[in-house]
A and B are shown apart, each in its own frame.
Chain A
């Protein structure tokens, strides 16, 4: 089944404790992206990647890191999480700019205490 998977789905952590949210897609997509969703603000793009080893900042990259060492995986790293990073996070992928349909993962709900 073609899908985007995220792990973990739920995470409660404390300020300053490094964490990684994994994202994997099995559709051989070139483009991958991370968003955060907050009430009243819609989805805001954190980082995106057009291909392996190519990453770019979205609208809200501060406090996050990403890497794209292989095509299928695009982990989101919070080196020192803070309470304002409490949010619902979505990973998405698309074949590439030639086919713009983005497929979203199920989401990761993160709480930083």
Chain B
């Protein structure tokens, strides 16, 4: 089955700096890659996603890039703010008969210092 590896497990930045979180996946048939943000005591919330026919997607300060050949995708947050502090998860959706399955990475705890 699909395996998703996420790095780093913790990331500490100063307000205004950029943050980058990277994920790799194993199943070349995977075709959908969402990123979720989880704040303390809450369920994960989708912040951005990308499909396998797109190489990059941007939404204000957040961008995601996908390299299908290398099977990795990354989340980029620019001009970080203290409210960006949270746990971030990447995920990959299987292809073919596994299209209902969503496999998550281990999570990255992002701390933005004022």
Residues of A in contact with B (beta carbons under 8 Å apart): 4, 31, 33, 35, 40-45, 48, 50, 56, 58-59, 90, 92, 97, 100-102, 104-107
Contact = CB atoms under 8 A, between A and B. Distances in A.
By size class, the interface of chain B is 20 to 34
B100 A56 contact: yes
Interface stretch (B11-19, B60-68, B75-83, B103-111): B103-111
A36 to B, nearest CB: 11
A31 B99 CA distance: 12
Nearest to A55: B100
Interface of B: 1, 4, 6, 9, 32, 34, 36, 42-46, 49, 89, 91, 93, 99-107
A43 B99 CA distance: 17
Given A100-B32, A101-B46, A42 B107 contact: yes
B106 to A, nearest CB: 4
Nearest to A57: B101
Contacts of B103: 45, 59
